Amino acid sequence: MHKSMKVVMVGLGYIGLPTAALIAAKGITVHGVDVNADVVKTINEGKVHIVEPDLEGLVTYAVARGHLKAHAQPVPADVFLIAVPTPFREGHQPDITYVESATEMIIPHLGEGNLVILESTSPVGTTERMADLVYAKRPELRGKISIAYCPERVLPGKIIFELERNDRAIGGLDARSSEQARAFYALFVKGKLHVTTARTAEMCKLTENAYRDVNIAFANEISLICERLNINVWELITLANLHPRVNILQPGPGVGGHCIAVDPWFIVSLAPDLSNLIRTARKVNDSKPHQVVEQVIRATAGHSAPVIACFGLAFKANIDDLRESPAVVIVNELLARKAGRVLAVEPNIDALPKRLVAGGELRLVDAATAIREADILVLLVDHREFVDIDPRRLSGKTIIDTRGIWTQVGSQS
């Protein structure tokens, strides 16, 4: 592996674009591919379409030096990376059609000696399925190309840093594939590179996210019990965590994003008779947004024309990613139930997504407007802008704090 190679990155979203930019910043030529023409145009102007610290500077640098260009279609290259969504269908069944489509796109451009890496979080066996698609149309490539799976394990808001610093699990379909993939990642990853099988690497990614989901579910369930018993859950968890072998996570309005809220279902689909705990955790976390809505409905009882301000729409703090966001679920349900006039405060977006606008009367406002106009303030995401709000400004408001940052200045309803 050397820097004179060409890399094709299929998918320029929250993982694909940062990875492509990081590789290109090392002086490697990267040909980015995305089906969204606006995304292609934006990147080629040296700009970005997502909020992520340090990303725009990296993209600007790579584009200006000619190392990163975006296109609608792949081209021949040395390494092909696939980082496209893997959602689930009805019944929580995995949907790998995006991976299959991306694979079909690169098949005509593959040649002897190429390396194909799937980075999308996928059900166990997806890498093998990808190989089957390749060899069905290009049987002459069997044994002449390398195919591997290498999932990201990054935190939105710290993606660039963690892409470079975190350890990676690399699983090839054979020893040669694993070694070729390891040599490639060594060009831009400073973390340790751990070689395993493709199936183990696939299961590793799912296991990591299911582990986090189960632990969040415990915290969320405790928070519901504490609400019923009139106990401050934040104080409780702080005290419990003083035990040297206890580390309870913080509860919230649910679990969002394209990983933790989705990936555990992939495990359940593979072994439904053996995954009772994982399934239950998913149900607990999926039910939490509806519990928050019930809190808000109860709080509106004393108001003839309640105004509700929901602080945060993203699935986590300080990003613009609304995928699988429990905050969006909560706002949608409040609109559907006509709980009152609803205001949304989300400093990381400029316009409301259509799926919210269609739900009823909803305005995107700044924090000052929300505090001035609303009777009920619902804290759903701990964005830095909300953490910095002077508690004195919230006096006289009914506060429902799902993140524990305003709890000491208002009353939990």
Catalytic site residue 158? no
Closest CA to 82 of 153, 19, 174: 19
**Please, which residues have CB within 8 angstroms of residue 173's CB and are 6 or more apart in sequence?**
127, 128, 131, 146, 147, 148, 198
What phi-psi label fits residue 54: left (phi over 0), alpha (psi between -120 and 50 degrees) or beta? left
SS3 285: helix
Residues 394, 371: contact at Cβ < 8 Å?
yes
Q: How far is CA 199 from CA 102, 126, 203, 207, in A?
A: 20, 8, 6, 12
Residues 363, 344: contact at Cβ < 8 Å?
yes
Q: How far is CA 241 from CA 208, 210, 237, 244, 356, in A?
A: 22, 22, 6, 7, 38
Catalytic option among 3, 144, 190, 259 = 259
- Residue 243 CB burial class (10 angstroms; 0-12, 13-18, ≥19): exposed
With tokens 């580390």, the residue in question is 247
Catalytic site residue 259? yes
Cα separation of 358 and 342, whole Å?
Answer: 13
- Residue 109 CB burial class (10 angstroms; 0-12, 13-18, ≥19): middle
Catalytic option among 205, 226, 310, 316 = 205
- Residue 377 CB burial class (10 angstroms; 0-12, 13-18, ≥19): buried
Element (H, E) at 254: none
Closest CA to 268 of 92, 128, 51: 92
Return the active site residues.
205, 259
